[in-house]
């Protein structure tokens, strides 16, 4: 997996976990009246269902990304093998079609320089086509990897936002009575 993607994934997950650990610590602080240790909040959070849900969702997203990149690499290798085989077959059939079947009078004529030039021109054109095909396959592979990377980032952001909005909803629901009381007129 791309190291940069792993770093971004790790940062998002660490941020997500730290958000909930801090939230748990604030809850414990408010509940106990004293200042609890962050280790207590960390232990409680890691034992929670939320930590498992984030970890599992991020693992599934990373695995999907790895599978997409592996599929792109395999498709690239197969396309290159097919192109190489097709190139070799084209060279074999186009360059050497009459070598063994030349009539005796043609075999005696001095056509070797012309044959060699034709063969070299054909091989140059085939090499250009092969390079163009290779370039297109590399671009296709990069495109598939970019799509997989974008999908991974989208999934991780969805995981983060879904859990964040879930927590935000909990805070809003808890704060609504306070807002209602503060806006009430005497």
pLDDT value at position 184?
Answer: 46
Which of 47-56, 102-111, 137-146 bottoms out in mean pLDDT, i.e. has the lowest?
102-111
Instruction: Compute the mean pLDDT over every residue in the chain, rounded to the nearest whole number.
Output: 66
Alpha helix (H) ranges present in the chain? 3-32, 38-46, 49-95, 104-107, 112-183
Q: Are 12 and 157 in contact (CB under 8 A)?
A: yes
In which domain, by residue range, is 103 found? Answer: 3-183
pLDDT value at position 105?
Answer: 46
Q: Are 72 and 137 in contact (CB under 8 A)?
A: no
- Answer yes or no: is pLDDT of 136 > 80: yes
CA distance readout (Å), 30 to 11, 23, 61, 108: 28, 11, 36, 103
Q: How far apart are CA 151 and CA 52, in angstroms?
A: 21
What does DSSP assign to residue 36? -
Long-range CB contacts (within 8 A, 24+) of 176-181 = none
Q: How many domains does the chain have?
A: 1
pLDDT value at position 131?
Answer: 85
- Answer yes or no: is pLDDT of 108 > 80: no
Please state whether the predicted TM-score (pTM) of the whole model is above 0.85: no
Contacts of 45 (CB under 8 A, 6+ apart): 17, 20, 21, 24, 51
Task: Write out pLDDT tens, residues 12-59.
Answer: 565 566 666 666 666 666 666 665 565 666 676 667 776 677 677 777
Task: Please report, rounded to a whole number, the percentage of residues in the chain having pLDDT higher than 70.
Answer: 40
Task: Write out pLDDT tens, residues 27-36.
Answer: 666 666 665 5
């Amino acid at each position: 997996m791309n190291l940069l993607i792993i770093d971004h994934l790790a940062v998002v997950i660490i941020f997500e976990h730290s958000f909930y650990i801090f939230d748990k610590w604030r809850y414990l602080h408010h509940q106990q009246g004293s200042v609890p240790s962050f280790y207590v909040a960390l232990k409680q959070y890691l034992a929670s269902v939320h930590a498992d849900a984030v970890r599992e969702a991020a693992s599934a997203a990373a695995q999907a990304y790895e599978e997409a990149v592996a599929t792109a690499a395999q498709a690239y290798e197969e396309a290159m093998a097919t192109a190489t085989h097709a190139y070799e077959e084209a060279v074999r059939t186009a360059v050497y079609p009459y070598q063994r079947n030349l009539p005796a009078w043609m075999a005696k004529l001095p056509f070797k320089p012309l044959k060699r030039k034709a063969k070299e021109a054909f091989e140059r054109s085939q090499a250009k086509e092969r390079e163009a095909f290779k370039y297109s396959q590399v671009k296709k592979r990069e495109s598939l990897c970019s799509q997989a990377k974008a999908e991974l980032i989208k999934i991780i952001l969805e995981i983060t936002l879904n859990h964040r909005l879930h927590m935000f909803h909990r805070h809003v629901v808890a704060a609504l009575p306070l807002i209602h009381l503060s806006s009430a007129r005497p």
